[in-house]
Every structure is written in C-alpha cells, then in structure tokens.
Amino acid sequence: MMGQMMEQGLLISTLLKHAENCHADTEIVSRIVEPAEGEARFHRTNWGEVAVRCRKLANALKRLGVGDSDRVGTLAWNGYRHLELYYAISGSGAVIHTINPRLFPEQIAWIINHAEDRVLCFDINLAPLVEKLVPLCPTVKTWVALTDAANKPKQAIANLVCYEDLLAAENDRFEWPELDERQAACLCYTSGTTGNPKGALYSHRSTLLHTYASSLPDVMNTSARDVVLPIVPMFHVNAWGIPYSAALVGYKLVMPGAALDGASLCEMFVNEGVTFSAGVPTVWLGMLSYVREHGVKLPAFKRAIVGGSACPPSLQQAFKKELGVSLQPGWGMTEMSPLGAVNALKKKHLELSDEPRGTLELKAGRLVFGVEAKIVDGDGKELPRDGVAFGDLLVRGPWVIKDYYRSDKSPLVDGWFPTGDVATLDADGFIGITDRSKDVIKSGGEWISSIDLENIAMSHPAIAEAAVIGIAHPKWDERPLLVAVRRPGAEVSGKELIAHYEGRIAKWWTPDDVAFVDELPHTATGKVQKLKLREQFKEHQLP
Amino acid sequence: MMGQMMEQGLLISTLLKHAENCHADTEIVSRIVEPAEGEARFHRTNWGEVAVRCRKLANALKRLGVGDSDRVGTLAWNGYRHLELYYAISGSGAVIHTINPRLFPEQIAWIINHAEDRVLCFDINLAPLVEKLVPLCPTVKTWVALTDAANKPKQAIANLVCYEDLLAAENDRFEWPELDERQAACLCYTSGTTGNPKGALYSHRSTLLHTYASSLPDVMNTSARDVVLPIVPMFHVNAWGIPYSAALVGYKLVMPGAALDGASLCEMFVNEGVTFSAGVPTVWLGMLSYVREHGVKLPAFKRAIVGGSACPPSLQQAFKKELGVSLQPGWGMTEMSPLGAVNALKKKHLELSDEPRGTLELKAGRLVFGVEAKIVDGDGKELPRDGVAFGDLLVRGPWVIKDYYRSDKSPLVDGWFPTGDVATLDADGFIGITDRSKDVIKSGGEWISSIDLENIAMSHPAIAEAAVIGIAHPKWDERPLLVAVRRPGAEVSGKELIAHYEGRIAKWWTPDDVAFVDELPHTATGKVQKLKLREQFKEHQLP
C-alpha cells in the first residue's frame, strides 16, 4: 500500500522559486571579473532579481536551440551570472556542465567534446583560452561571453554573443517544467590523476537531497543569519553545493570571482561580514599569511570547511588561536556530489582533553546521513568500525554515482562505490583517511600509509614537500621510497631524514631510501602526481 | 536523459541503520510508565541496543502475522519501546498507527476499526482503557502490553501478550526490506473538531524528507551536541518528527513517559541536561509556574519549539527573561507531517528594535523549504505576500497529504491543500495566522479575525478565557459575539469589555455583544469547540 502524500518532485527549480518567494531581498554580492574602466568592482543583486533573470535566460536558452537534456558548458568563476546559469540551465531541463578553466586546453577540449556541449558560456578573462578552444570544439554552436556588449571580448571567436544581450531580448515569463526528479541536471568531470577525465551526471533528486543534507547543523550548519563566501569554485563539484543551499537557506552569498589571493579574499570577508566559508588548504594558507602580515581582523568569521586534501594541523590551530575560526575538515569526491563527511564533534567529545580532541578534529569527517560507508580488506571482507583497522573505503547513497557518463563499465563493487581511499571508520562514523588505494604501499602482505610517512618527513624543519611511493621489492613486494624537496638553503641528508622516523612509526614502515628532487610534479588542482613519480623512479635501486 | 546516480530509496530503516553505525552509544533515557515496586524509575538504553531489539521486534511482528502494509496501532507515551515500534513496524513494511489515548473510548474504537489495526500495543497505565476497547475492536488479533511478564496487566484482555516476552522469543537477525520509498509507513488521525477523525497516511519518502528538513538550522536546529526532550507526544503527529531526527542527528533523546507536569518535566530537564524541547503552550505554562515556585535552574536549556496553538506573548517573554530560553513558534498540521514553518529570524531582523522584533518573533513561523504556500481570497485569487493581506492559506509539497486514508473525496483545491487557516504571508516567508477559516467572521463582505478579538478580550485583567463567534445578521451577514469567562472573583460588565476594544481595533471589528459563561467547551486536545458554541448561541439575539 502506497502512502497518500503529494507527488511533488525534488527539482532544482523549486529551490529558485523558494528563494524568490522567501528570500527575494537577500543579497548576492559578486566581484566582477576584469571590471572595465569606471565599472564598479562589485556587483550587488538579490534572489528576486536573479529569479527574474533566470526566467529570461531560460527563454534565451530555448532560442539558442538548447533542448531537453542538452549540455551547456560553463568556464566561469564564482559570480552571479554563473549562479543564474546553474538555475536556468538545470531548471529548464538541460544539463549544466561546469568546466575547470585551469586544466590544459587540450583536456578542456576533450571534455567539451565528450560532453557534446551545445552552448558554452565563459568569463571574459578566459577569452584567450576560448579562442584556442573554438577550432577544437565542433559541437559548440554558440559561445556566450558572460558580460555586456560594452565589454565584448576582442578575440576571434565565431558565433560569439554577449550574455546581457541574450537576456535583454527575452521576457521574464517562463514556467519551470515539472521534470522527472531523476532527470540529469549537472555534469562534472573528475580531474583524475590517471587516464581521461570521467563525468559524474547528477540528477535533480540527488542534488536536492545533497542540498538538504549539506545545510544540516552537523554539516555546513548554515542559517539565514549567515554570510557565506564559497572559495571553492563553482566549476569544482558545484562549489560543494553552496549555490543550491544558498537558495534553500537564504543566507547572504558573497562570490569572490577569480581573485582567490589573500588580499582579495580579506577585502570581501571584511566588507561583507562573511561568517562561513569553504575551500582547500592552499587558499587558507594564503589567507592566513596575508592576515598575519597586515594584521587583518575578521570578527564576523566563525567557521569554514576545509576539504580537497587533508587539513594541516598547524593551519587548523592557527585559525583557531589567531582568528577564532573553526576550520572543520570535510571529505567527499566528485562522484559523491561531493559531501560524504564533515568533522563535527558530538556531545561526549566536548569533554575530551586537548590532545585527543585535537586528533579527532583533524579527521576527515563524520558521515553525513544519506551516505553509508564500509571498509574492506583486499578480499572484500568488511573490517571493524573501531577507528584502528583500515581498508578500502566504499560508499553508497542517493547522491553517489552508479555509472560514469557515457561509460559502459560500472565502477561499482556489489552496489558500492569504491572511493579509492584507504581509511579507518569508528563507531561514531568518523572517517580517518589513511591513504589513496593506489598510493598505499603493500609490504609483506601489510599496508603502509604513504600519507603518514609524508607527514613525518614534512615535520622535519628542512623539508618543504615530500612524497612517498612504493618501489618494487623482490621479497616484500613493495618498499617505501621517500622523495623529498629541501627548503631553500636548508641542509639535510637522507640518513638524517631516515633517523627522523625513529620512534614516530613502526620500524618496518620506515622508508628504505630517500631521493632528493628540486620539485615534485603536481596536477592542475595542486595534487602531487604520484603516477609520474612512480614512472620517474621505476628503475630506482633500493639499498 | 536520466542522471546516473544510485537508486537508494528514502526508507525509515536507513535512519535506524545510520543510528546503529554512527550513534550506537548515544543515550535514550525514558521515564518508566508506572514503575513496579523496586523498579528503576528511569530506563537507559542507546541506539546500538534499540537497533538489535528492533530486529527482534520485526521478527515478532512477522510471527504475529503482521504482513506488508498491515496496520499496527499504538496507545503509548513517549518512551523507548514506542521508539522501537516506530522503527520496527515501518521498517519491516507495515504501518504504525499512533493513537491519542486522551480521546473518548468510542472515538478510539472508531479509529482502530477504520484503520483495521491487526495488532495493538499499549502502555500499561492504559490497560483500563484497553479493557473497554477489546469488545469494540474485532480487527485486533493481538493486544501487546508494553512491559515484561512481571508487570502484565490484570485486566480482562483476550489475546494479551507482553512485549518483552515477544522479543525474548526472537533472534536479532532481520534484513530490513528494500521497500518502494512511496510505501505507506505511518498513519495519524486528525482529532478534528467536526465530524469523524481523518487519517493521514505518510510514506517512507515523505517521512525522510521531513526528517532532513526538520533538522535544519532554521527549523529545529539539532546537532549531535544536543539533548532533546520531546514533550509533544509520539501519538501526536509523530512528536513533530523528533523520533526520526534523533536517529539522523544522533542527539541524546530524553523521553518523559506519561508525566508532563512541571515537576516531572523539570526533574528530567535538570538531571539529563536537556538543551532543546518541543511542546504546546499549556505544558510550557505548567513548567513556567513550577520553575517560578521552586526556583529551578535550567542552565543547559536554550531553545524550544512551541506549536499546536498560538504562543502567548507573555509566555515567550517569561522564558526569555527568566530562563534564557527562546520559545520559537512553529506551525503545521497532521496533514503536513506536521512541519510547515518555524519562527527563525534572518540576519536583517537581528537589527530590529525590541518592538517590531517581538512582533515578528510571535508569528507562526517562516516557511520551511519543501512546503510551498499561498493565500487566496474567497474567489481563489492569489493575494499579495505583503504581511498585510490575509486569506485562506493553501500549501503543497512532498510531505503534504493528497488524500485522506480510505476517503474517496480529495481535499485538494487545484493541487493545493487548504489548511483551514486564514493567514498573512510576507516576502520573507513568515506566516501570520489570522484565524481558522471556519471561525473567521464574515461581516459586510470583509473578514474579521476571531483570534484578534479573543486576544484583546483576554488582555482584560478580569477575563480568564474568551471565544468570539459569528452570529447571523440580516444586514451584515455575520457579526461578532464575544463569549467570555470571568476570572474567579473578578467583576466586569459587557459594556466595560466592549469599551476595552476602543483604540485597539477598527471600530467595525468591535463585538456587537458579550455573553458571560462559567466555562467554554474544549476538545480532548484543549482547543475551544467553537462548533458547540455556535450551536449553543445560534438563537442569540444581538442588540
């Protein structure tokens, strides 16, 4: 017997309608990308205006021939026009495909061709990049510069129109269609360190459920009394869901554009009274050094989520002590929309002494309801949730992908998505990331965490950056090699570094050898490319 | 094109699994209903134990012949066994039907027969009531006393078994079925003031969406650092969703049993460190007078939702000033699962001066995302959202009913549910309840709020309680009659009361006449029965 409840679908357009009905005057402030002479550097709008412009944009998309489920690409920073694209594209039944402009042009072209984007919208400081893309992307029928006619890019871009011209030609009457909630809404490609990028195709349903969950008190904890600045870009897994929760919650939204340096961020944090933010460790490091150098005060700022990679302990402590800001680690991935866990303590943890509490506060996060997780050993056998055993981390839930876009090979294992992380789970749902599955070093049938070894190396004062990889070994299968970059002017020998491990780790975990390099190879998003390192050191002879 | 996300259903069993995996040691404290000689007055368990007992209970239900979508009734207070029934019944695919034991036995029997409950579970202090019900309820095959063999009721109840005996006979292996998320999960009857009760049949989906929404920072705002005592009974619209959000959030849950007097509540608030609660104005009034009389301190207590009827301004102020507790009005109804709105201020409101802020804080609430609302005039034309215009309030959303259980007449108007409330809506989504549709007085084509007139009457020091009803009038259609109860020993004339309205309201709203009575008729849930009053005064001659 079915329940007798209304069959209202979980649609992205309902978020926009809610924002228009309940948050019409709530501000959305954006830093303008490349303001022209005399143009204001900051743009102010609100949900009432955005909702009207979204309806015009939906009409414009129809006029450009964008049909049901057609892909519309964006190469854009965090700003109000990008926000309008989020709602108008998905709301009208098409698919927004957000693209990372920091990838190589060939990668971007590959992604655009794989997605078969029909229209591509770009911020004007990316016009030089777009000029290169045009000949490589035959599926794109219209290139839309996110600006007005006065600022139209001068580059040679065929079929170029300006966003404001498109909107000006339309009226604001548009009925958002009553779509199937499982319909595709957004497409995000992973910037994998290996192979071609893979697309995660979110539905309206998955996006709405993720939006509810991400706003919870133990997740992002955002209310209509907050001012939120997403540093994480809207081309990076939908800025972790902030463009959607902004409409649900009705907090003031502050969009930093392309300027993510400490000075630019601090200017907006101070002027707009930002209370909450989200970003990767690198931007927090940049902001911290700017704050220290210029004695900036951020009294409104209280909390931020730090994700993308592990939060350095010193960063978390500095934010706490110097700024009074809780940096809460979060964990997720493109394939998870992205949120899986956020570090939020329970009542019993408030009574912990500093040390165990500090250790806990650095864990990747506590599971969000909606994401189930388990850890398994090499044979797929489930391991205990005791915070000690570690194994391959698998997840499932309504905002986890079941397939990649246009791929016929399911990534799932018995219905679970393998995250590629090696982790511990505890009885409270806290996840502790031990390593990436492909980076963990398999020595004598046991696993060694490359991350743990890297953290110890980086705790040595002479070391700027370190990576640990497994080198084939006839007896142990693999043994760890430490690849390290010395700080400028610092001196340290391999022997001294090996000695630094003593007492800090089980003896058999100690790296067998150290190789010094001038720099480590990085991906476009700043991660160390261990695949390249393994290639580079594949002939390395351990002592 | 569909998105490529996992098809995990929104099922109540996933809440229980989450609680077992992530909140196993989180406490659930219950006051025992009628503890036996020597038995502890309070029972302590946790989600780990509850999850195991739920699986045993699910096996026991199968053994009792409870099949898919069969109804299992409960006549029970807030306690851990009732919580287990919530999860085991719905989780296993049956329907939990919670019944208000304060209704008349004939009404209860009518409801049980209408629902065709197959099993009925009851708290032992209700055994005398159950004894009366047994001969009236032929569909019930088994009566389950929520106790152990030692406390088995002595009443003559055929087919009586004890809950703990049922559980003891089962093992704890049970796989929660992968149900259709639209399947029926819970059945709640409205205790309407007119006609027979009507059943709202919630689905797993509607319950899960309501659970996400109810936990949001601008709704109940509960985290794993909270201690929550639901005063609102689990037989009253699922205690406003608290038994479900407890599992999602993992807060400590404190169950007051049948003892809702000030002394008993304060004992649990103090001993367990309750931070958040929810209940109707009456219980808060009782608690306030106990606190004042005994000088009780409740330092952990910070916030509570007050719903069911309007929050008296003096009550809200006393809680703020004397206890430091925010009493936030909430609004909803059985047909809405029940939450529609909770009074949570926005950033801009924090700068208001005391008076407008105080007025705002008394409004019924701000719309929760997931519930759409509109107000319409007598012709169904939508009225402006300006906080001034008032009309019939209609709602829709995924946790609003579309039909009543076993009724072939849809209550919907163009797909919207008419709440029966007359209200204002403002541009922030705040709802101001003006009146009940059936109580509003239609005078000369305009509407007069009976509630406004009652509040003015009750602000007179000599008046204990007041109700205003419309009396048929040859020229104006209806005119207001004030029916008032004087405070013991107080003196006031009708003329004086009428004069009390001067300057407080538009002249034409002033009641035409006053009738004094010794008491007003009330429903089982404490609401004034205006239907009875209208019957009583239908021959009343206005001057």
* Cα distances (Å, whole numbers) of residue B352 to A252, A329, B316, B320, B430: 18, 35, 18, 17, 16
pLDDT attached to residue B2: 98
Q: Is B74 a catalytic residue?
A: no
- Partner-chain residue, chosen from B6, B206, B396, that has the shortest CB–CB distance to A400: B6
Give Dmax (Cα) for chain B.
74
Which of helix, strand or coil describes residue A45? Answer: strand
Contact B217 A216 (CB under 8 A): yes
Of the residues B45, B139, B190, B525, only one is catalytic, namely B190
ipTM higher than 0.90? Answer: yes
Q: Which of B443, B540, B412, B431 is nearest to B482 (CA)?
A: B540
* Cα(A85)–Cα(A73) distance, integer angstroms: 10
pLDDT attached to residue A511: 96
pLDDT attached to residue A192: 58
* Cα distances (Å, whole numbers) of residue B278 to A224, A408, A413, B306: 21, 51, 43, 6
* Cα(B67)–Cα(B57) distance, integer angstroms: 14
Q: Is A176 a catalytic residue?
A: no
- Partner-chain residue, chosen from B26, B201, B346, that has the shortest CB–CB distance to A225: B346
Mean pLDDT, residues A343-366 taken together: 97
Report percent pLDDT > 70 for chain A. Answer: 99
H/E stretch holding A278: strand A276-279
Contact B369 A218 (CB under 8 A): no
Residues β-bridged to residue B367: B341
* Cα distances (Å, whole numbers) of residue B445 to A129, A432, B510, B542: 66, 67, 16, 19
Contact A183 B3 (CB under 8 A): yes
* Cα(A416)–Cα(A340) distance, integer angstroms: 14
Residue A281 token pair: 């460790």
Q: Is A132 a catalytic residue?
A: no
For residue A408, name the pLDDT band (cuts at 50, 70, 90). Answer: confident
When the pLDDT of each residue in chain A is averaged and rounded to a whole number, the result is 95
- Whether residue A58 contacts residue A91, with contact meaning beta carbons closer than 8 Å, is answered with yes
Omega before residue B338 within 30° of 0, cis? yes
* Cα(A470)–Cα(A473) distance, integer angstroms: 9
For residue A494, name the pLDDT band (cuts at 50, 70, 90). Answer: very high
* Cα(B105)–Cα(B53) distance, integer angstroms: 31
Contact B203 A2 (CB under 8 A): yes
Q: Which residue of A has its CA nearest to B396?
A: A6
Query: Hunting for tokens 């992973």 — which residue is that?
Result: A190
Q: Is A442 a catalytic residue?
A: yes
Contact A203 B385 (CB under 8 A): no
Burial class (CB in 10 A: 0-12, 13-18, 19+), B271: exposed
For A70-126, the pLDDT digits (tens) are 999 999 999 999 999 999 999 999 999 999 999 889 999 999 999 999 999 999 999
pLDDT attached to residue A452: 87
Q: Which of B381, B367, B447 is nearest to B414 (CA)?
A: B381
* Cα distances (Å, whole numbers) of residue B129 to A224, B101, B122, B124, B133: 47, 8, 10, 10, 6
The number of C-alpha atoms within 13 Å of A285 and in the hemisphere containing its C-beta is: 10
* Cα(A82)–Cα(A72) distance, integer angstroms: 12
* Cα(A58)–Cα(A317) distance, integer angstroms: 46
- DSSP H helices in A215-255: 242-249
Mean pLDDT, residues A347-376 taken together: 97
Mean pLDDT, residues A285-291 taken together: 94
Q: Count chain A–chain B contacts defined by CB atoms under 8 A.
A: 228
Contact A347 B225 (CB under 8 A): yes
- A489: alpha, beta or left, given left = phi > 0 and alpha = psi -120 to 50? left
H/E stretch holding A90: helix A80-91
Residue A411 token pair: 């990534």
Whether the pLDDT of residue A193 is over 60: the answer is no
pLDDT tens for each residue of chain B, 543 residues long: 999 999 999 999 999 999 999 999 999 999 999 888 888 999 999 999 999 999 999 999 999 999 999 999 999 999 999 999 999 999 999 999 999 999 889 999 999 999 999 999 999 999 999 999 999 999 999 999 999 999 999 999 999 999 999 999 999 999 999 999 999 999 999 865 557 899 999 999 999 999 999 999 999 999 999 999 999 999 999 999 999 999 999 999 999 999 999 999 999 999 999 999 999 998 999 999 999 999 999 999 999 999 988 898 999 999 999 999 999 999 999 999 999 999 999 999 999 999 999 999 999 999 999 999 999 998 999 999 999 999 999 999 999 999 999 998 999 999 999 999 999 999 999 999 998 888 889 888 788 989 889 989 988 999 999 999 999 998 888 999 999 999 999 999 999 999 999 999 889 899 999 999 999 998 776 778 888 999 999 999 998
- Whether residue A95 contacts residue A41, with contact meaning beta carbons closer than 8 Å, is answered with no
Contact B249 A216 (CB under 8 A): yes
Question: pTM of the full predicted structure?
Answer: 0.92
CA distance A47 to chain B (A): 11
Of the residues B331, B416, B447, B509, only one is catalytic, namely B447
- Whether residue B108 contacts residue B129, with contact meaning beta carbons closer than 8 Å, is answered with yes
Q: Which residue of A has its CA nearest to B17?
A: A372
φ, ψ at A400 (rounded to 5°) = -110, 140
Whether the pLDDT of residue A149 is over 60: the answer is yes
Q: Which residues of chain A make contact with B24, given a CB cutoff of 8 A? A: 427
- Whether residue B98 contacts residue B188, with contact meaning beta carbons closer than 8 Å, is answered with yes
Whether the pLDDT of residue A436 is over 90: the answer is no
pLDDT attached to residue A194: 58
Q: Which residue of A has its CA nearest to B335?
A: A5
CA distance B271 to chain A (A): 16
Query: Hunting for tokens 């600022």 — which residue is that?
Result: A151
* Cα(A80)–Cα(A73) distance, integer angstroms: 16
Contact A3 B223 (CB under 8 A): no
Task: State the distance between the two ends of chain A, measured CA to CA, in whole angstroms.
Answer: 70
Q: Which residues, including other chains, have CB under 8 Å from residue A254's CB and lie 6 or more apart? A: A29, A227, A228, A229, A268, A272, A274
* Cα(B287)–Cα(B296) distance, integer angstroms: 10
For A242-254, the pLDDT digits (tens) are 999 999 999 999 9
Residues β-bridged to residue B522: B528
* Cα distances (Å, whole numbers) of residue A473 to A122, A449, A476, A482, B64: 49, 17, 6, 15, 62
Which of B6, B407, B431 has the highest number of chain A CBs within 10 A, making it the mutation to test binding with A? B6
Of the residues A447, A454, A476, A509, only one is catalytic, namely A447
3-state helix, strand, coil in chain A (%, to 5): 30, 25, 40
Which of helix, strand or coil describes residue B31? Answer: strand
Q: Which residue of A has its CA nearest to B430?
A: A22
* Cα(A399)–Cα(A407) distance, integer angstroms: 18
- Whether residue B124 contacts residue B111, with contact meaning beta carbons closer than 8 Å, is answered with no
